[in-house]
Each structure stands twice: as C-alpha cells, then as structure tokens.
Chain A
Amino acid sequence: MKARVVVTLKSGILDPQGKAIEGALKSLGIAGVASVRQGKVFDIEVETDDRSRAQDVLREAAEKLLANTVIENFSVEVLG
C-alpha cells in the first residue's frame, strides 16, 4: 500500500530555514504569505494490504527514525 508520513516542527521550535524561505517569498513580491514552516514528506510503500497494520508500521518508523519527537510532530496517512 502507498502511504505518506509528514514530519513538521513543533510549534515554538525556531525554524530558521522556514524564516529564510518566508523572506525569499516576500522579496519575490508574493503577497499574502504570513509565515512559513518547513517540514518533510516521506512517501512509503508498505508490504501489506491491512490498513491498520500499515498504520502501525508507519507509526513505528516515524517514532524510531523519521521524526525526532523532541522537536517534531508527525502524521501518518495510508493512501491505499
């Protein structure tokens, strides 16, 4: 099954990369951008057809490696 894990910085954690991107967007004259936070997307193929099993695998992957839960949150989405 295809799945996606999205990792984002927790609120309150300074994101200098997001700030730099935000600055670049503003200098391009793109109006209406209030703020930018950068994150990561992992597209993962899981070797199962069981959605809840896939969720478990991805959650374990995110907790053990894909996210550093000191500073990051993650969400898991099984796309089917």
Chain B
Amino acid sequence: MHEFSICTNIVESVIAEYEKIEPGPVRLLKVRVVVGKLHQIVPETLLSAYEVLTKGTIAENSQMEIEFVDVCCQCNKCLWEGEIDYPFFICKECGSGDIALIHGKELYLKNLEVEYDETG
C-alpha cells in the first residue's frame, strides 16, 4: 500500500504548486505524474488514493494521469543500453548482470492542467 504514502506526497505537491500559479486559475483539471516501473505502483490503487486524498481540497474532482517509464539499463561490460526484460537485470547483448540503471526509478509531478475563465 505504498500508493497511499506516495499519493499523500502527490496531493501535497499538487496543492502547493497550484497555489503558486499567478494569476490564480479558476480550477485544477488534471495532474500528470511520471512513475518508473521499478516502483511497482498499481495504477488503480494510486487513482483511488488520489480520489480519497483530494476530497475537500482544491484538487477535488481533478483527474490524475500516470505516465509509466520502462526500466532501462546500461551494461558496465559491453556498454549495451536499452530496456531490460524487467525484473531481470541482465544485459541483452552479453548476458552480464553487472548493469546500471538509467531509467525506471522516476517519480515526479510533471505538470498541472488548469482552467482560466476567458476574461482572466
């Protein structure tokens, strides 16, 4: 259930970032988060957490979109670079297990989509 802990951070960040926007929008429509597949996030659980945790906040009724990032590595032996057959951290070129992670551990709030009224 780490989705709830992570979502607490998402909601706090969303509210903090929304309140910084000048001039202030009418409402928040959508938030986009980027999640590396190594985090083993269950999207449905994260989305339910978002719905629950945004109740009574300015983010209530906004939608969350999750962009997943594949797990990519670079081989320390032959320098091959690419997506691995997750969860197997094995070089697809030379079979070495000595490989370094390049992508797949991302976890950040990418953007907010907000609404302004035409006169604003």
Partners in one complex: no
Residues of B within 8 A of A (CB): none
